Structures are given as C-alpha cells and as structure tokens.
Amino acid sequence: MATISAAQSGTYVLGGKYPINRLGFGSMQLTGPGVWGDPEDPAEAVRVLRRSVELGVNFIDTADSYGPFVAEQLIKKALHPYADDVIIATKAGFTRSGPNDWRAVGRPEYLRQQVELSLRHLGLDRIPLLQLHRIDPKVPLADQVGELKLLQDEGKIGLIGLSEVDVDELKEAQKTATIASVQNLYNLTNRKSEALLDFVEANDIAFVPWFPLATGKLAEPGGPLGSIVKRLGVSGSQLALAWLLQRSPVMLPIPGTSSVDHLEDNIAAAGVKLSADDVEALSTVRS
C-alpha cells in the first residue's frame, strides 16, 4: 500500500509564521448531533485525532462553539502536549443554546472571555490562529477585530483570521489588524466565494474552505464526476479535495470525520494529482 501523508499536499507558511501541510483536519464532526454535546464514541474521536497527526496533518481547525468546547477538549486529550509543528486554529464569536443553534456575539468582552476559555481547554499559552467565527452585525467590526488585536498584542493569539466574509469586510478588518486567513464555505458545487479566493490568493492570505466535501451524487456512476473517479481509481471525496488543492496555492482544506477509515481516505487525496484537463472539467461542474 502506498504511503499516505498529508505532506504530499504541499506546504504553506500561515501568516508568514507557521509552516503547515496544506491538507488539514476539521474537528466539527467530533461532537454530538447538531454539533452539540459529546460524540457517540469519544474513544474513536481521540483515535481519529491521533491518527491524523500520524498521517502528517499539522493544521487542526476547531471552535469554542463545537460542543460547545467538546472538540477543543478532545484535541487536548488526544494531542497535548502538542508536537512543535502542530498548529491549532480555533474560533470565537458564536454562542449556543442547543443543537444546530448558532448566534453571533461579537462584543469585545465576550470574545476575550471565549479566547481565555479556549486557551484553558486546549492547554495552550497562545492560540496560533484565532478566527472570528462570524461578524456580529450589532457590533462595529473594528471593535470585534480590535479586541482580537489586543489579545494578539498580549501574546494570547498568534494570528487573526475571519470566517464567512466578503472582500469588502476583509478590507475593512485589515484597517484594524493583519488578517492571516479567511474561512468560507467553498467546494466543487458552491463557489460563491470565488472573488474572495482570488483576492486572498493575490495577497497571500490563507483560504480555509469549510464543508470541502460536497460531491454527493456527482461522483456516482453516470454522474459528472463518475468517469474521472473511475479512471483515476479514487473516491469522490479524494477528487474533491485534490481539486481544491490544485485550485489555489493558498487553499487549506480541512475535511472532518469521526471515523479513522474515512480520515485515511481523505488524507490519501494529498497524493492525487489531476491533469490540467481534469482540473478544467471539474471547474465546470455545478450541482
């Protein structure tokens, strides 16, 4: 069996500070239904995290709101003390009252409180990348990013990122702090953030696509991706991830799963190389 390693995806220096392998891991699926509470099999969640690092993953994305705090605490249990090259990215800016309930809260005192809690739950002195999970429309953006900048100046945050923003919002945030990453919905069938991706690539800002796997029936026999899947001998998920990796050098996909088998299938995408014709064909796909 060929060696599987996230290192095959290539490297990217996040914020000019942290070298990471481009294919990472997203931890949202390590929680209970509705991203609420503990997972059905906590031991398997720990195995998934440890196996991801064994397979070369050194960029792990999480959030205080996943559980809440369940994913962060699982990461600490599985991986602490962290290897020197493992970079943890977490997010703050949502509050939760139950399964599938997400409410943006960007008051500076709330963001500070959540960062302090994430430091404790992750067992870190500094969070390498802290992302504003959503812009709170009730609070000036400069106040939200400004509080993160204060936390950065205090040494509690390494880099600052944003989630679900457009180009104008990113430019506005850049007036207050240096922005190292953006995290938006983006995959083969949803490319509404194309303009943002082009902007961040031109400015060497990382683009972290959430929900990167959205092939569904597209990869089934007879579907638009079926012939490529069959010819290359890969899974639909591997095809979707390989396309993302070749779409832009600043792209950092973070596929998540609660299964070691599915994890290994995803990481194998790092070794899938698409021809220019394959990339062009995939780039025309729509759901």
Token representation of residue 87: 């970079």
Q: Of 181, 147, 189, give the one whose Cα is nearest residue 165.
A: 181
Q: Of 36, 14, 10, 4, give the one whose Cα is nearest residue 22.
A: 10
Q: What are phi and psi of 223, to 5 degrees?
A: -80, 170
Spatial contact of 165 and 182, defined as CB atoms under 8 Å apart: yes
Give me the residues paired with residue 87 across strands: 59
Contacts of 202 (CB under 8 A, 6+ apart): none
**Given the residues 12, 66, 82, 186, the one annotated as active site:** 66
Q: Determine the longest span between alpha carbons in the chain, in angstroms.
A: 56
Q: Of 120, 67, 113, 121, give the one whose Cα is nearest residue 92.
A: 113
Token representation of residue 29: 């699926």
What is the DSSP secondary-structure string of 169-216?
HHHHHHTTS-EEEEE-B-BTTB-TTHHHHHHHHHTT-EE--BS----G
66 catalytic? Reply is yes
- Coil vs helix vs strand at 162: strand
Q: Tell me the catalytic residues.
A: 66
